[in-house]
Chain A
Amino acid sequence: MNRLFTLNKYFKRNKGRLSLGVLFILISDFTQVFIPLMLKDSIDALQANASSDLIIRYAIIIFALAVVSGFFRYMIRQTIIVVSRKIEFDLRQDFWTHLLKLSHRYFQNTSTGNIMAHATNDIAAVRMYVGPAVMYSIDTAIKFLIVITIMLSINPTLTAIILLPLPILSFFVYKLSKKIHKKFTLIQETFSDITTMAQENFSGIRIIKSYVREAFEIEKFAKESSEYRKRNMDKIKIQAFFMPLLFLITGTSIILLILIGGNMVIDNQLTLGDIAAFLFFLGMLIWPTIAFGWVANIVQQADASLKRLHTIYDEKIEVKESKETDKSIEEIEGSIKFEKVSFKYGDELPDILTNVTLEIPKGSTLAIVGHTGVGKTSMINLVSRLFDVTSGNIFIDGKNIKSIPLNVLRKNIGMVPQETFLFSDTLENNILYGVENKNKELLNKVANISQLDKDVNQFSEKYNTVLGERGITLSGGQKQRTSIARALAINPKILILDDSFSAVDTKTEEEILIKLKEFMKDRTSIIISHRISTVKDADNIIVLDNGVIAEQGKHNELIDVGGIYYDIHYKQLLEDELQREG
């Protein structure tokens, strides 16, 4: 339960309101307990044949007390529940801020649905604790104290007897809730499975339709839904005890009151007014008793949820700034050096890069080629620090990359990831995503370099065209070029193009490359491609193979070497040309 103390900082921020809330609870409860006492007095007065004036006065007092107590009830909600919403805001904000810091690896390994579940269910559970649970436990404690004291002062024996069933109720509520909670966790798991299943199905609907897998998918979904129904019924079997138990136990209290209290009245140890008051008091205690078991459970759930949230909070932030970070670095020039860099994705996984040493002078263009899955993407991800090297060092401008503040580093790297991700926003907002201010001129410039302008001119909404999710309503090449334009727009010192022309035709590519040449004049660039035509003009070409740089040099030099590069080049030539060559 120590984890719950981590919430103290949130409570502290709202100390004032919370203390007020507690004060309001106190006032409201105090006024409320007078109602049964007035009732008792009025009934006793009736039996003593009092005047009707007195009775009217009692009636008025009862109503007045209710008004005062009601007003403070209102104030309680306006303080404590409002605070709980504020804390929820803080919790969610902190959660999101933390997510923004987590490393690429975390997001690769964790499904979006899973993170969403934490963001919704777990935060909601914690809010229940900070709001309603806190409110009810304070309320319950105060009410119990006052009510039981008064009841004891009226008749201790009767109090003891009729309150006896209540702890049993609390106990059952607690036990049942615990069981229900267990079942509930199982239900949540299936629910999350159903969600994930639907999510993937709808995202992959093109595949499902192409391969006519609808019937199979529906059956799979029906099976999971039926499992969900079963688990729900398992829970309901237990949950259904709840109400009957409640009736039974509170009803028993009342019957005891009538029976034992009635006997006492007959024996003149008690008045009928006392019974009326007790009846009311019981009514006042029943809900807090239930709340008691319920709160105990909320606390447990909040604890479990906090535990899950903490696994995210405790998730190692792999790539971060550290002692080495030199905050004085505000600019970078763009020369890059790899020094004995090795990299692997996990201890038990094979090396992707082994002892790679490489220099990329400022303003030059490096091209990387190599087989599918050889590690090209992995290598450039080290430069923008999506991952950190396993061993060795990378230097930019001669400074260790880890000493450069992350945002300085990334603000100077224009990255075009191999897989395009666009937001479901306008084209303009996507292209200018990395730029602080909207700027039409810049927009036109980068759209022109990436040859997107011609396509956009055909769209009726031009740059205000709103894209579907992930840019679904653009053609493959249009998506890629939007991503290129986005990288250019931040005016980077280093530009990284990871297979960024794979969906672009050769002619357009050629045009982009020509325009880029101008743009890249004194910037460093890294281009990954499978096409010789894309890489042939680079200042330096490296061929990655088996985790090392197998070949390195300019196009012509590599052709002379007659190795892997030559082989690729040879294979990309048209056969008839080869025939002509003889």
Chain B
Amino acid sequence: MSCNVRGSGGNNSAKSQNPDDEILGKAYDSKLMKRLLSYVKPYKKYVVAAIFVNIVVAALGAIRPYLTKIAIDDYIVNSNYDGLVTISAILFGTLIFQAIAQYFLTYYTQLMGQNIIYDLRVKLFAHVQKLALKYFDKTPIGRIVTRVTNDVESLNELFASGIVMIFSDIFIIIWILIFMFAMEWELTLVSLSVLPFLIYATFLFRRKVRESYRDVRFQLARLNSYMQEHITGMSIIQLFSKEKKEKTNFAEINDAHKIANINSIFYFAVFFPIVEMLSSGAVALIIWYGGGNVIQGTMTIGVLFAFIQYTEMFFRPIRDLSEKYNIMQTAMASSERIFKLLDNDTIIENPTSPKAINNFTGNVDFKNVWFAYNKEEYVLKDISFSVNTGETVAIVGATGAGKSSIINLLNRFYDVNKGSILVDGIDIRDISKEDLRNHISIVLQDVFLFSGTIASNINLGDSSITEEQIINASKTVGAHGFISKLPEKYNAVVKEKGATLSVGQKQLISFARALAFNPQILILDEATSSVDTETEILIQKAIEKLLKGRTSIVIAHRLSTIQNSDKIIVLHKGEIKEVGTHQQLLSKKGIYFKLYQLQYKDQEVK
């Protein structure tokens, strides 16, 4: 088998681009930026204050070299001790003032950043809660998790440091230019003559680093999703003795990550020294041109000092630029992915004016329902049946026949392609999903437990479900026995995915959950498939009472569990082939009869 093809998570080959990681052009950047800034709106006051403080801080920083010039020209050269002390005190004053302003500047801009990402994160999470299952079918969980965690996090850097830093850099540069031009405009022009080179270098760097960072990010995502998936499936790797193979697979991904990083080092390794060289070049120019002026007596030596300091200050923000650029790039890429997720409208919308279900009786009608997960590949074809209040209906059929799909539709995990589903005579598309689901409890075929306690897995954190109800539900499904043997009973810790419970035990807990929510319609999708017969029969007897007057739909492969149903539907390749009671279906001598014979042939009571 091929070792580099592993998964749909975009990691088919090192170069193939995950659509999520693609970065669009500059025009797009400014659009993104606009949208990002809309999140700043609620905090406008902070921004205005920050800009104001920034101007002051920058000015205080920029005035110091000028004061140094005065110190040298007016006092040191003229041997004025007192003046030197005074100017030093003034210098110190600006320093203190700047330090205090800087503290508050940092604090409040960070506060703003934190608030913005809090807003965004919760909004994003809430949006994901609305997305339809279609989305989750296709998207690796790890990727969605990255959106609400790391991607939002990288925006923090943008809001908290990036934006403010850019402002402060701009202001510093403006102030420096003002002072420089005010002192010696010719020398200013000479020393700034390195600027075009700097701009060009920066431009090149920007483009190259952008490319290489894209690769780094892509490789990192690939590395993480590989690890995530293979740690979850570790037992399969070990059981199939694939450790060596997976070591090689990992090495390949790890290596691509390393190479991507090493490639990006190159650009930094070149860019930093170049900026330094240009900055020294500017100093050399100042010495050459300014020195000449000093010799001719048209310029004081203090100006030389000030200019040397100014170039240093001027280049610093540009040297930091790579850092900031990195932040900006990551933030842009992240925000693009975040917005893509926020714009995702794979949502099963609630109707604008939902009909309320009053005095729900639990009547269910499927009317000529057609359904496909993928275009035109119908898994349900023209399904019609009805379940009357208080009835128990069973669905049987071969694996893959479409049984679970019927349930997915009733619960509105997906919407029908054609036809309609009615409860109490109302089309489920006219009811709010929440209202609908509140009346239905499903035990899903795939058991899922959350980490927490047994109790929290049964009530799902709903405090209106009392401890007594939890215990009663557990007793009904026969889980109370093993739970009470655990040292912590209902507060026993449940590990990720319930790893330390037997599969049957997990299934019982998820069954108890359905009962604890006290539904009008109970749906059991292979709810006892991993449970022993004795417990299964106990459960059946126990819920019989509970189900009086309620509707239930049961999917089961073991026919013994469904024989008492009011109606049995036989599904075959997405179509209903037979409907009737157990006796009726037997006498029909059709599919059901064959199934029945198969299960009970050469089995007799002695």
Contacts and interface: CB of A to CB of B under 8 A. Distances in A.
A46 B291 contact: yes
A63 B280 contact: yes
A309 interface: no
Interface in B92-122: 92, 95-96, 98-100, 102-104, 106-107, 110-111, 114-115, 117-118, 121-122
A70 B274 contact: yes
A213 B99 contact: no
Contacts of B229: 423-424, 469
Interface stretch (B28-36, B76-84, B421-429): B76-84
A573 B122 CA distance: 54
Contacts of A559: 606
Contact of B398 (A109, A120, A507): A507
Contacts of A519: none
B543 interface: no
Nearest to B499: A108
B4 to A, nearest CB: 11
Contacts of B79: 266
Nearest to A65: B280
Contacts of B397: 505
Nearest to A489: B240
13 contacts: A49-B295, A111-B451, A206-B413, A251-B95, A377-B502, A421-B233, A438-B1, A473-B373, A502-B526, A506-B558, A506-B598, A576-B563, A581-B605
A204 B510 CA distance: 12
Nearest to A349: B487
Contacts of B64: 251, 254
A417 B237 CA distance: 12
A239 B103 CA distance: 9
A135 to B, nearest CB: 12
B505 A505 contact: no
B269 A56 contact: no
Interface in A443-471: 455, 458, 460, 466-470
A262 B75 contact: yes
B309 interface: yes
B274 to A, nearest CB: 7
B242 interface: yes
Contacts of B551: none
Given A116-B228, A530-B532, A46 B312 contact: no
Given A210-B437, A571-B537, A116 B227 contact: yes
A304 to B, nearest CB: 21
Contacts of A76: 269
Interface in A161-219: 191, 194-196, 198-214, 216-218
A373 B400 contact: no
Interface in B121-156: 121-122, 125-126, 128-130, 133, 136-138, 140-142, 144-145, 148-149, 153
Chain B interface extent, by class: 35 or more
A526 to B, nearest CB: 14
A266 B605 contact: no
Of all A-B residue pairs in the complex, the 10 with the closest CB atoms, nearest first, are A477-B399, A372-B504, A66-B280, A70-B273, A244-B99, A77-B269, A434-B240, A59-B288, A240-B106, A55-B291
- The B interface is mostly helix, strand or loop, or mixed, namely helix
Contact of B84 (A119, A225, A259, A504): A259
Interface string A405-448: 01100110101011101011110110011111110000000000
A371 B534 contact: yes
B254 interface: yes
A533 interface: yes
A543 to B, nearest CB: 11
Nearest to B67: A258
A252 B280 contact: no
A130 to B, nearest CB: 13
Contacts of A472: 136-137
Contacts of A204: 448, 450
B185 interface: no
Nearest to B449: A204
A66 B117 CA distance: 43
Contacts of B288: 55-56, 59
Interface stretch (A5-13, A91-99, A295-303, A326-334): A91-99
B345 interface: no
B99 A42 contact: no
B280 A62 contact: yes
B188 to A, nearest CB: 17
Interface in A359-387: 369-373, 377, 384, 386
